[in-house]
Copies of this chain bind each other. A is one copy, B any other.
Amino acid sequence: MEPNTTPNELDVTEFALVFEELTRIIIRLPSIEKLSFTTLSVLHTLSRKSPMRLTELTANEQVTQSGITQLVTRLERDGLVERRPDPTDGRVVLVHITAKGADIIHSRRLDRIAQLSTFMEGLTPEEKETVAAALPALRRLGELGNGMRT
């Protein structure tokens, strides 16, 4: 990969690699509850928007409709979500996240924040400032990424 010669020009490859590395670290942070990747993903999706239809969940996650139905059944058994009918359409099931389910996502998030904080302490004040300055752009990058989802 050719490094960009223009000063301060954004090297997307470099960004992707750095991001990959950070993701790798975060994924490997130890956590108490042993929930599968798919389980956490569905819970996380529901923590952003609840309730959701099973079909909607199926579209978001990378498992089949059958897989989602069964996963939701397990989550319901464990009290992390609830199935409720949709008054306007008798076919659909609306999956609501419970307080217990939301707590799991929330506490994991707090763990991550704590870990990230200790890592951040190793940065110089100047480095921290560059990260802080980039936050708005990164947030917008996320919005752009969401908007472009087909």
The answer to whether A23 touches B23, judged by C-beta atoms less than 8 angstroms apart, is: yes
| A 1-42 binary contact with B (CB < 8 Å = 1; else 0) | 000000111111111111111111111101000000100010
Query: Which segment of A74-82, A87-95, A119-127 sits at the interface?
Result: A119-127
* Cα distance A43–B48 in the bound complex, in angstroms: 30
* Cα distance A79–B137 in the bound complex, in angstroms: 41
Q: Which residue in B24, B26, B37 is a CB contact (below 8 Å) of A44? A: B24
- Give the number of times this chain occurs in the complex, counting copies: 2
**A contacts with B: majority SS:** helix
The answer to whether B123 touches A11, judged by C-beta atoms less than 8 angstroms apart, is: no
Given contacts A119-B145, A149-B28, A131 and B22 within 8 Å (CB-CB): no
Residue contacts A-B, CB under 8 angstroms, 30 given: A9-B128, A10-B120, A10-B129, A10-B135, A14-B139, A16-B109, A16-B112, A16-B113, A17-B109, A18-B135, A19-B138, A20-B109, A21-B139, A21-B146, A22-B141, A25-B149, A27-B41, A28-B62, A30-B150, A37-B37, A118-B148, A119-B145, A120-B141, A122-B140, A122-B144, A127-B140, A128-B137, A131-B138, A133-B134, A134-B134
